[in-house]
Amino acid sequence: MRKILVCDDDANIRNIMEFSLEAEGFLVVSAADGDEARRLAASEQPDLVILDIMMPGSDGLAVCRELKQQARTKHLPVLLLTARAGKKDREAGLAAGADDYITKPFSPQRLVDKVHGILGVRH
């Protein structure tokens, strides 16, 4: 079973992601801020990390950069899920090492499709 780490400071969005991904057979671990996401990425060794950008503590871009610099987590694919929809925001996310970028509001099915695509999982 593939494990996904979802991180968003909005509990409702975390719940939507958890429900949608668990319905597809993924095991989901969740974090409410960037610092917790960083710890869980190291300890849980997920197959994919989904990060919001704007969060208290370490923001998603900082967490993404750190994950990509650490030997233990540099292989983890990162999907940014954020309200920051500008071209420069997307470019900054991809430059930080993100594998893909989804803007809010989002369709849960689009999220699931992106996760399947990044992980190479057929559904």
Q: Give a yes or no: residue 123 inside a domain.
A: no
pLDDT for 13-66, tens place per residue?
Answer: 999 999 999 999 999 999 999 999 999 999 999 999 999 999 888 899 999 999
Domain with residue 36: its CATH number is 3.40.50.2300
Alpha-carbon torsion, ordered 4, 6, 12, 13, to 10 deg: -100
Q: Give a yes or no: residue 122 inside a domain.
A: no
* CA–CA separation, 98 and 111 (whole Å): 15
Q: Give a yes or no: residue 118 inside a domain.
A: no
Q: Give a yes or no: residue 8 inside a domain.
A: yes
Q: Which domain holds residue 55?
A: 3-113
pTM value surpassing 0.85: yes
Q: Give a yes or no: residue 24 inside a domain.
A: yes
How many domains are contained in the chain? Answer: 1
Q: Are strands 3-7 and 27-31 parallel, antiparallel or unpaired?
A: parallel
pLDDT for 64-104, tens place per residue?
Answer: 999 999 999 999 999 999 888 788 988 999 999 999 999 99
